[in-house]
Amino acid sequence: MITDYKILDNNFIRKIEEFTNGELFQLFYLFTGVNMVNYGSLKLKNAFILDDGKSEIIGVLTESSFYLYGKNWNKSTLEKITKKINFKSFPEGFFFLGNERFISDLFDFAKIKLEVFKNRSFYKLSKQENSGFENKNEIDSPSINETIEITHLYQQYYVEEYNGQNNKEFNETKEKVMELIKEENIVVSRNQDEITGFCTFMHKETDSPMIGTVFVSSEFRNNGIGKSLIDFVSKDLLKSSDFVYLMTTKENIESNKMVESVGYKKVYDHTSRIITVGNTVYN
């Protein structure tokens, strides 16, 4: 049975919470989208949940993205979803987000090509699994006078993380950095008077605290600075929570090894993909 939702009310939110079996972090991007819809900053076009007693599919279509998540799907499920959604009606470059295997299987079945924008691995760390890593790097909170230096590093992060597809303007990034400093949601590593890297906090006061952005200047890499930043922030967040979370780029093997060395365990694979030119259909 497929149930359509005109509004993302408490009933819908309860359904998607049940979908995760208590691991709400799996639907991080969906929950973010739902909040944006309910606060009026994103327009909802359609939402549905398929539940046939075995398979479960969640779909939320907004003006900019389609969130699609599945559990226990089969060929019959994929057929129902492709009939429900006219994929060929979406414009070039439209975003589809969801768990990686489901997105791959669904669009292969529908014979629609997507281009990967970003594959992410979601990680979780408990107090018990946190390593006894000895942090030997200088890490502390920056002052507002260091905004410019951090802003330049943050711009470098966007260039590297998204391969030049998501560069940020200086003033926009500067405002973000100033807010992070004022809210005490960022720490930096130092080499004497030079800032060598930074790490940000996300959702620090919630039940699902997260590490946000981690970046080390290229000339200071391979010195354990990234690991020190992650360990420092993880330990801080675990003071008030039993778990802490983070995301990595799935293909960044070294980054994944680094977070695993601190004790993080991978819990989910997420993908963000875009429809290619002309919604090309396989021959």
User: Rounded distance, CA 24 to CA 159, Å?
Assistant: 30
What integer pLDDT is reported at residue 283 of this predicted model? 41
Pair (101, 63) in one structural domain: yes
pLDDT value at position 240? 86
Mean of the per-residue pLDDT values of the chain = 90
Domain housing 49: 2-120+271-279
Q: What percent of the chain has pLDDT over 90?
A: 72
Q: For residue range 83-124, list pLDDT tens digits in order.
A: 999 888 898 889 999 999 999 999 999 999 899 999 999 999
Q: Which residues pair with 96 in a beta bridge?
A: 66, 273
In a domain, 222, yes or no: yes
Number of domains in the chain: 2
Q: Which residues contact 254 (CB under 8 A, 6 or more apart)?
A: none
pLDDT confidence of residue 163: 78
**pLDDT, tens only, 32-65:** 999 999 999 999 999 999 999 899 999 999 999 9
Regarding whether 111 and 189 lie in a shared domain, the answer is no
Whose CA is closest to 265, among 17, 25, 20, 31?
Answer: 25
Residues 83 and 206 placed together within one structural domain of the fold: no
DSSP state of 142: P
Helix-strand-coil percent breakdown of the chain, rounded to 5? 40, 30, 30
H or E stretch covering 35: helix 28-38
Reference 272, options 107, 134, 95; nearest CA is 95
Residue 188, SS3? strand
Shared domain check, 220 and 138: yes
Q: Kindly state whether residues 64 and 136 are assigned to the same domain.
A: no
Please report whether residue 125 resides in a domain.
no
What pLDDT band is residue 9 in, cutting at 50, 70 and 90?
Answer: very high
User: Which tens digit of pLDDT belongs to each residue from 196-245?
Assistant: 999 999 876 666 799 999 999 999 988 889 999 999 999 999 988 889 99
Percentage of residues of the chain with pLDDT beyond 70: 94
Rounded to an integer, what distance in angstroms lies between the CA atom of residue 27 and that of residue 99? 9
pTM for this prediction: 0.84
